[in-house]
Amino acid sequence: MSYAIQNKLGLEQNKLYTEDVGIHDWYRFVLSYPPHLVRHYIEKLNINNKHTVLDPFCGTGTTLVESKKLGIPSIGIEANPVVEMAARTKINWNIDCDSLLKHSSLVAKEVKNRLKACGNNLKYLDTEREKLLIKNSISAIPLHKSLVFLEVLNDLKDARFNDIEQTAFAKQLVFSYSNLSFSPEVGVRRKKKIDVSVVELWLEQIQKMVLDLQSYHSKKRIPAKVYLGDARAMSHLLNRKSIDFVMTSPPYPNEKDYTRITRLEAVLLNFMSVKKDLRKSKEVLLRSNTRNIYKGDDDEQWIANNKYVVELADTIEAMRIELGKTSGFERLYHKVIRNYFGGMARHLKELKPILRSGARLAYVVGDQASYFRIPVRTGELLANIATNMGYELVSIDLFRTRLSTITKEQLREEIVLLRWQGK
């Protein structure tokens, strides 16, 4: 199986592209794609305000934000509730900024009063919630201040501002209050933060968001919506034949547990409080790593007749057996390959009823080569699955390369560009 690689896109390689702005300066994951990539394909494919854009793995909403800036209606689907909240916040530009600033000042004042009243009596998480966190994610005093802050935010809750105030808190929690680091895996810093200015940093984040909102005021009426849902089972959320362009980046098939990246916010904001909640959050995600493979998973049935995926999974399992590897991770990796690509096939089937004839689809995906150094050519495999399902392959464009921390090789990140003719 081989497809021509076209169009290097003229983008720098091995670089994380970001925009340094308040409300849009959310999780900067190494595997995310830059805003200008969205604009490039919207311009290249002549997408305009008569069309509707879909991002079924929308993350924090890069595709939706860029579409809205250009006056194009858009829809996103995201399975992680913390990330969905962030995306929902980023596309809501219809906020009374003066009232938001007044309310945030009221919250800040009350937090300071309650912190003073607490004295040396610190608040802690209960045992069940603490077990869900990476050890030493946050130090005692920043945690205490955060819990008092959230208590006040709940008591003074204003539905108009709740998403944006919680999003501002979540952003500062990760990058300013916690001991977490991202390089690119999530971990804990050696030097722990003993104390932080929780209220002041939150107010600064709110002010940055207000500046963003004011700059995009003229675009606030452009339709944009985010649904909390599973991209493998989403057709019930959208109207038939309503989508003209899909641009998205599904998780890559690697050992990155994406729920760890948002675990601290999810726990403190009560999106999860017991181990059962964590499992539920993983079950609605594409099976991209061994930590979310469960008994009863059956997405692999969707690629049972795809010889390329089956051969790859069989090769990985044969190598494991030959080397005598018996750990849980090693036993499950071939299942990740089967269920990941099966999940993508299931997703592509779900798309068919909602796509208009002639719709284009752009998938940002990356090759992998970490397990036994057996290469996983994600772009080529996805293209093969799509063409077998009736999609037309337009091109596989090189986006950038990245250095594998395991093999020290340059791995390709590509855009698989498809067309759906409605047959």
The more confident residue out of 8 and 81 is: 81
Q: Do 149 and 173 sit in the same domain of this protein?
A: yes
Q: Do 197 and 334 sit in the same domain of this protein?
A: no
Closest CA to 372 of 421, 317, 417, 332: 317
The tokens for 267 are 């726990």
Q: Do 184 and 157 sit in the same domain of this protein?
A: yes
The tokens for 102 are 């007044």
Q: Do 227 and 371 sit in the same domain of this protein?
A: yes
In a domain, 67, yes or no: yes
In a domain, 81, yes or no: yes
Residue 404 has pLDDT above 90, yes or no: no
Q: Do 103 and 176 sit in the same domain of this protein?
A: yes
What's the pLDDT score for residue 422? Answer: 83
Residue 155 buriedness (CB in 10 A; 0-12 / 13-18 / 19+): exposed
Closest CA to 114 of 141, 149, 139, 140: 149
Global confidence as pTM: 0.91
Residues, the chain, total?
A: 423
Closest CA to 404 of 365, 366, 347, 355: 366
Residue 20 has pLDDT above 70, yes or no: no
- Could you give the C-alpha distances from 401 to 248, 348, 376, in angstroms and in order? 18, 26, 14
Q: Do 82 and 227 sit in the same domain of this protein?
A: yes
Q: Do 119 and 61 sit in the same domain of this protein?
A: no
In a domain, 135, yes or no: yes
Q: Answer for the pair 132, 278: CB distance below 8 angstroms, yes or no.
A: yes
In a domain, 246, yes or no: yes
Across 300-308, average pLDDT: 96
The tokens for 385 are 């699955």
Q: Do 187 and 115 sit in the same domain of this protein?
A: yes
Identify the CATH number of the domain in which residue 308 sits. Answer: 3.40.50.150
Separation between Cα atoms, residue 230 and residue 343, nearest integer Å: 10
Q: Do 177 and 244 sit in the same domain of this protein?
A: no
Q: Do 77 and 184 sit in the same domain of this protein?
A: no
State the amino acid at position 34 in one-letter form.
P
Beta strand segments in 103-176, E: none
Q: Do 46 and 174 sit in the same domain of this protein?
A: no
Q: Do 120 and 60 sit in the same domain of this protein?
A: no
Average confidence score pLDDT of the chain? 90
Q: For residue 177, give its domain range.
A: 97-215
Separation between Cα atoms, residue 239 and residue 225, nearest integer Å: 13
Across 95-103, average pLDDT: 96
pLDDT digits (tens, 9 = 90+) for 333-382: 999 999 999 999 999 999 999 999 999 999 999 998 766 788 999 999 99
Count: domains in the chain:
2
